[in-house]
Amino acid sequence: MIVETARKFTSLAIPNQDQFLYGACPHPLNCGLGLTLGAGQVFPEVNFTLPPMSITRETWAEVKAHYEEMAAQILRRAVSLAVPGIVLEFELLPAMTDEPEWGAEITAILKRHLSAAHEKHKLLCALRVTPTDIRDQQKPPLLRTGEPWQRLRRSFELCAEAGADILSIESVGSKEVHDQALMFGDFPGIVFALGVLAPRDMTWLWSEIVSICAAHPGVIAGGDSACGFANTAMQLAHQRMLPEVLAAVVRAMSCVRSLAAFEQGALGPSKDCAYEGPVMKAITGMPISMEGKSAACAHFSPLGNIAAAMCDLWSNESVQNVRLLSGNAPEVFTEILAYDCRLMNAATAAGGALALRDWMTASDEWLSPQAAVLSPAATLRIASAIVAEETPYRQTVAAGRVAVDILKEGVVAGKLRLSRKEQQWLERIEASLDELPAEESALIAVLEEQYGGLYDKASYGL
């Protein structure tokens, strides 16, 4: 079954760079307990996880105690700092999606804390819940059938019933092909995964998630993340395992598969680790969550400031519940995020949002290829290229071409410094883009022998 796209974005919701600001978007989103995203302010989105420990029936009471503690401490610190609003994100761990009732139990705990804070302190707040995409438990993964999908679907349903305000996922459809192609630097394989397979899974999966949300009034279909694709590439590039330019082009091309969630009815905010979020925002006009310097607790990125330039929620990605001098890490990072947001919101109130956005952009833009493709100008160019094309495959190729152009222009202008090896890879990527067939059917045929055994065709409607 091939799921039809529910809506198609053919123009930009934010065509003007000067209107492309943090904290504001054409389609603000009401969610949770009185919170409105994208209506002028940036709010912290705090994400937290367990310290090293097993999740079993024997440890379950201890697991719940951790979440009770984290929620209480985060909200206490948020109230102390008078945040104008806050989102908590609960990213289920695999065991909590495997046992859908467990994820729902934690969801209920967190919602109870948020409701109490809202009632007692009038804190505007919402709970985002993100089940783990567990559909890749077998090789090749069965994405639309089988026990893992049934448990994932049940997890969404139970978490919605238990109090989630926003549902999200970091889906992994086509990662079985993308990982292999990425490791071998096989550019046609990467395009095949990102532009042919991934959009098909995203389209199907998000039609399911949107329908689950529709059955639970008040629950919003948030958005996805290309974490398993573009962030994997970014981290491998950081470790000098992959070229930075390849990771940057992968980022641009990953926008198309993430856009499919919005095409199916997601309303935002997209996931914090979706660094492709600004492209979503430019196209859809819906709010996004981003993470940067204050997510250094979770991972490196060369995007610490520029990631905030167009965000609506500002996140720490993930932090373990471990003790620091001033308190446990989740409440510490709540404070860091609160001050980040306070500065951004103060700049907005003083009419300085555009200036601050440009400073955040300028501080990172040409220090890495990843940042170079995420400036407001670059983002709008990539977004424009995507909406100008008809099919996900063509959109993906177009996004890749624009990313290559942006990087090449940066080098020619003397702004972006690339090693000889990186420049060779950029030329190689450009040549690969030129050699791609015009239609996806030709690419599918060419790559059948190489990748056909890695994926289940029915999972992609093929």
Partner 1 sequence: MAQNIDLYDAILNGNAKMAHAATEAALAAGADPMGLIQESMVPAMDEVGRLFECEEYFVPELLLAGRAMKSAMELLKPLLSAAGQRMAVRIVIGTVKGDLHDIGKNIVASMLEGSGFEVIDLGTDVSPENFVAAVEERKPQVVCLSALLTVTMPAMKLTIDALKTAGLRTQVKVLVGGAPVNSQYAKEIGADGYSENASGAVGLVKNLVAEA
Q: Applying CB under 8 A, which of residues 69, 157, 161, 179 lies at the interface with partner 1? A: 179
Give the footprint of partner 1 on residues 317-336 (CB under 8 A).
320
CB 353 → partner 1: shortest distance, Å?
35
Which residues lie across from 90 on neighbouring strands? Answer: 129
CB 280 → partner 1: shortest distance, Å?
24
Q: Within a 10 A sphere around the Cβ of 398, how many other Cβ atoms?
A: 22
Give the footprint of partner 1 on residues 36-95 (CB under 8 A).
49-55, 93-95
Is 183 a binding residue for partner 1 by CB under 8 A? The answer is yes
Q: Residue 333 in contact with residue 315, Cβ under 8 Å?
A: no
CB 299 → partner 1: shortest distance, Å?
8
Is 136 a binding residue for partner 1 by CB under 8 A? The answer is yes
**Residue with Cβ nearer partner 1 (185 or 265):** 185
Contact region with partner 1 (CB under 8 A), list: 183-191, 258-266, 268-276, 371-379:
183-191
**Residue with Cβ nearer partner 1 (300 or 359):** 300
Three-state secondary structure along the chain? CCCCCCCCCCCCCCCCHHHCCCCEEEEEEEECECEEEEECCCEEEEECECCCCCCCCCCHHHHHHHHHHHHHHHHHHHHHCCCCCEEEEEECCHHHHHCHHHHHHHHHHHHHHHHHHHHHHCCCEEEEEECCCCCCCCCCCCCCCHHHHHHHHHHHHHHHHHCCCEECCCCCCCHHHHHHHHHCCCHHHHHHHHHHHHHHHHHHHHHHHHHHHHCCCCCEECCCCCHHHHHHHHHHHHCCCCCHHHHHHHHHHHHHHHHHHHHCCCCCCECCCCCCHHHHHHHHCCCEEEECHHHCCCCCCCCCCHHHCCCCEEECCCCECCEECCEEHHHHHHHHHHHHHHHHHHHHHCCCHHHHHHHHHHHHCCCCHHHHCCCHHHHHHHHHHHHCCCCHHHHHHHHHHHHHHHHHHHHHCCCCCCCHHHHHHHHHHHHHHHHCCCCHHHHHHHHHHHHCCCCCHHHHCC
Q: Applying CB under 8 A, which of residues 2, 18, 184, 409 lies at the interface with partner 1? A: 184
Q: Applying CB under 8 A, which of residues 16, 61, 240, 390 lies at the interface with partner 1? A: 240
Binding mask 347-376 for partner 1 (x = CB under 8 A): ------------------------------
Q: How many residues bind partner 1 (CB under 8 A)?
A: 33
CB 255 → partner 1: shortest distance, Å?
21
Is 424 a binding residue for partner 1 by CB under 8 A? The answer is no
**Residue with Cβ nearer partner 1 (132 or 315):** 132
**Residue with Cβ nearer partner 1 (132 or 294):** 132
CB 322 → partner 1: shortest distance, Å?
9
Give the footprint of partner 1 on residues 218-237 (CB under 8 A).
232, 236
Is 137 a binding residue for partner 1 by CB under 8 A? The answer is yes
Is 16 a binding residue for partner 1 by CB under 8 A? The answer is no
CB 183 → partner 1: shortest distance, Å?
6
Cis peptide bond upstream of 26, omega within 30: no
**Residue with Cβ nearer partner 1 (38 or 243):** 243
Q: Applying CB under 8 A, which of residues 1, 239, 414, 449 lies at the interface with partner 1? A: 239
CB 139 → partner 1: shortest distance, Å?
7
CB 83 → partner 1: shortest distance, Å?
27
Is 431 a binding residue for partner 1 by CB under 8 A? The answer is no
Is 185 a binding residue for partner 1 by CB under 8 A? The answer is yes
Q: How far apart are CA 123 and CA 126, in angstroms?
A: 10
Q: Within a 10 A sphere around the Cβ of 157, how many other Cβ atoms?
A: 17
CB 91 → partner 1: shortest distance, Å?
11
Q: How far apart are CA 206 and CA 221, in angstroms?
A: 8
Query: 248: closest CA among 143, 119, 368?
Result: 368
Is 391 a binding residue for partner 1 by CB under 8 A? The answer is no
Q: Applying CB under 8 A, which of residues 139, 415, 417, 457 lies at the interface with partner 1? A: 139
Contact region with partner 1 (CB under 8 A), list: 5-13, 76-84, 175-183, 282-290:
175-183
Please report, as ranges, the residues that interact with partner 1 according to CB under 8 A. Answer: 49-55, 93-95, 132, 134, 136-137, 139, 179, 182-186, 232, 236, 239-243, 299, 320, 419, 421, 425
